[in-house]
Chains A and B, each alone.
Chain A
């Protein structure tokens, strides 16, 4: 059974940092591209970024609002995806999901809530 479990969310102050993790099971992480998506009541669903497999270069792409501040990485040996969030802003407050597409469907975690407040 495919499972994705996010963790690491919580409270942070503007300018601070948080690192989210996404532990996966039921598939081989090294074979798939992985995504981070966030959701807020006001802005709805927003793609944060993606990371390719090492075979495809292992590079990441980011949405404009987070580019230069967020870093996606992966540890395939530990079946874990990461999202390092730096220079946090109040508008980064959201529920953060990790997501994977495979086998003609996609799979999401339950999300981890990040709240940035001063």
Chain B
């Protein structure tokens, strides 16, 4: 099973600033990597697939990068609605595995 490790566990950023979240895989997952956003009481929502492609309806301020074992989610200018928990998910090999999440909070 591939282990996904996200960092940091909590990130404090001011609205309007840039946020950078990291996800590392224990072995290569190629570009089979998704990023999710989850707000309290809601289901996860896919932001990025294929490591760098925005999902349908996702604003351009969200971008993903990386390949192999190192991945980054960047939110260019934080809006109030972006404060949430973010997860990465690899789907290169069964069973698919999630990272433990990064909580993005208002500074």
Q: Which residues of A contact B (CB under 8 A)?
A: 44-47, 61-64, 97, 103-106, 108-111
Contacts and interface: CB of A to CB of B under 8 A. Distances in A.
Given A64-B95, A105-B56, A44 B43 contact: no
Interface of B: 1, 36, 43-46, 49, 53, 55-57, 87, 89, 94-98, 100-101
Given A45-B87, A97-B43, A110-B43, A104 B49 contact: yes
B100 A44 contact: yes
A105 B98 contact: no
11 contacts: A44-B87, A45-B89, A45-B101, A46-B98, A47-B95, A61-B94, A61-B95, A64-B1, A104-B55, A109-B43, A111-B43
Given A44-B101, A47-B97, A103-B56, 14 more contacts: A44-B98, A44-B100, A45-B36, A47-B95, A47-B96, A47-B98, A61-B94, A61-B95, A62-B95, A63-B95, A104-B56, A106-B55, A108-B43, A111-B43
A86 to B, nearest CB: 19
The secondary structure that dominates the B interface is loop
Contacts of A63: 95
Contacts of A61: 94-95
B43 A105 contact: no
B87 A105 contact: no
Contacts of B45: 108
A74 B44 CA distance: 23
Contact of A45 (B1, B44, B46, B57): B44
A105 B95 contact: no
B23 to A, nearest CB: 13
Nearest to A47: B96
Nearest to A95: B43
